Structure 1
Amino acid sequence: MISNPSNPSTEEIEEWAYSNDDEPDQEWELFLIWKADFELYLKYASDVSCPKEEFFLNLLYYWVWRNVRHDSIENELESYERIFQLAEKINTPYVRIWSVRSKELIVNNAVYSAEQWLAGRRPYDVQP
């Protein structure tokens, strides 16, 4: 399905997103972050009918955490304000939570521990 996992086309990413296939490479998440098509990833993360919706939500979380907490040489987030603006307009609860939490982390990178960042992604999935 994906001819070159380290540099997939937009069409290949979409085909994979709506398939039941496993990740084509163990570094798939990193390859997608390097590809930096975050508007597309936001689309999949907000589509509850997308089989990989949770994968793309986690990808967005990882991208923000990686930039804020791992002191990336270049903070990519400054270049992607549009992604956060788009996320604010999406009614999918988990994407909205991601947007709020991401902004909190960007402003104060000590606001979440690694455990808290990981635990709060999908609060409505937790059964009492």
Structure 2
Amino acid sequence: MMFKDPWNPTQEEIKKWAYSDEMAPEQDWELAIYKIENIPMICTFVEDEQCEHTSYFLNTLYVFTGDMVRVGREIQKLSQLLDTIENTTKSKELKLWIERSQLLIEYPEYYDNSYWGLCSKFVYE
């Protein structure tokens, strides 16, 4: 699969990759796709059993929250996004991500890169 620019992928390119069996186009590609406007779409991939990369996208959500809280960027937007997703999600994985994210927002001093960074222990252990 070809990306015009893997570090600035379109939502359509991300969606195509989500349903492919290909490896991520770049190392640490989570950082390229975790823009706030992509988060609702990423959540749909986590909930879709047809998606080939559900763990990858779940990890992306943890990295997204961790980075937002760690640098103190757009916390209000993040909180609103979590509230919106919480009202529609059915999966226990997303509910747990939301719950953990809300706790991290409230207690940012508990940030731990091994849980909120790439290869999150929340996802891969």
Q: Tell me the TM-score normalised to structure 2 length.
A: 0.80
Give the equivalent residue in structure 2 for 1:78: 76
- Whole-angstrom CA distance in 2 between matches of 1:67 and 1:45: 20
Answer whether contact 2:46 2:55 (CA < 8 A) is retained: yes
Q: Deviations over 1:59-84 (max 9, x none)?
A: 00001111213x25xx1332234431
- Whole-angstrom CA distance in 1 between matches of 2:36 and 2:113: 25
Give the equivalent residue in structure 1 for 2:108: 109
Q: CA deviation at 1:86?
A: 3.2
1:119 to 114, 118, 121: 121
Q: CA deviation at 1:48?
A: 2.7
- How many residues align? The count is 120
- Whole-angstrom CA distance in 2 between matches of 1:35 and 1:64: 10
- Whole-angstrom CA distance in 2 between matches of 1:51 and 1:77: 30
Give the equivalent residue in structure 2 for 1:46: 47
* Bigger RCO (CA 8 Å, 6+ sep): 2
Aligned AA for 2:84? L
Answer whether contact 1:5 1:24 (CA < 8 A) is retained: yes
- Whole-angstrom CA distance in 2 between matches of 1:38 and 1:22: 20
Give the equivalent residue in structure 1 for 2:62: 61
What SS does structure 2 have at the residue aligned with 1:63?
Answer: helix
- Whole-angstrom CA distance in 1 between matches of 2:98 and 2:36: 21
Q: Taking structure 1 as reference, are residues 42 and 77 closer, same or farther at Cα in structure 2, changes over 3 Å only?
A: farther
Q: Which runs of 5+ in 2 are unaligned?
A: none
Sequence identity, in percent? 28
Find the structure with the greater CA-based Rg: 1
Are positions 1:91 and 2:93 aligned together? no
Greater alpha carbon shift after TM alignment, 24-33 vs 75-84: 75-84
Aligned AA for 2:107? N
